[in-house]
């Protein structure tokens, strides 16, 4: 598991993706602190790590990163930690377009070619 608060290369993510099925890297993004954790077997482990580091539950969103893909295809909004009926998110995705956009910006700001 790796805290990302600096740039990470696509190549580093590709290496991490070799451990997972289907060439993905699991990540949890803190949309307020603008940090993320990558490279764990489960989003819940990354979520717990960020909570222990002071993140707030409602700021954390699980995604999958596909480093071999480009653009919008690189990020998949799919995680069990995203199911939050009390906050209006009833799916494993990220239903709020504004939150999705924040996640995309944060991830894209960290990933370098």
Q: What integer pLDDT is reported at residue 95 of this predicted model? A: 95
Q: How far apart are alpha carbons 47 and 83 in whole angstroms?
A: 13
The pLDDT value given to residue 21: 78
Domain ranges of the chain: 2-112
Give 101's contacts (C-beta < 8 A, 6+ positions apart).
none
pLDDT at 19: 86
pLDDT at 85: 93
* pLDDT value of position 106: 96
Which regions in the chain score pLDDT beneath 70?
A: none
**Rounded CA gap, 79 and 44, in Å?**
9
Given this model, what pLDDT does residue 79 score? 97
The residue among 32, 38, 34 whose CA lies nearest residue 15 is 38
Tens of pLDDT, residue by residue over 68-99, are: 998 889 999 999 999 999 989 999 999 999 99
């Amino acid at each position: 598991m790796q805290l990302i608060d600096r740039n990470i290369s696509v190549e580093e993510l590709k290496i991490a993706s070799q451990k997972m099925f289907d060439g993905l890297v699991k990540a949890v993004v803190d949309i307020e602190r603008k940090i993320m954790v990558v490279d764990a077997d489960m989003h819940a482990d990354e979520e717990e790590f960020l909570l222990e580091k002071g993140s707030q539950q409602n700021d954390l969103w699980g995604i999958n990163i596909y480093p071999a893909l480009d653009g919008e295809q690189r990020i998949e909004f799919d995680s069990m930690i995203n199911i939050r009926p009390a906050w209006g998110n009833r799916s494993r995705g990220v239903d709020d377009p504004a939150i999705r956009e924040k996640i995309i910006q944060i991830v894209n700001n960290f990933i370098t070619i």
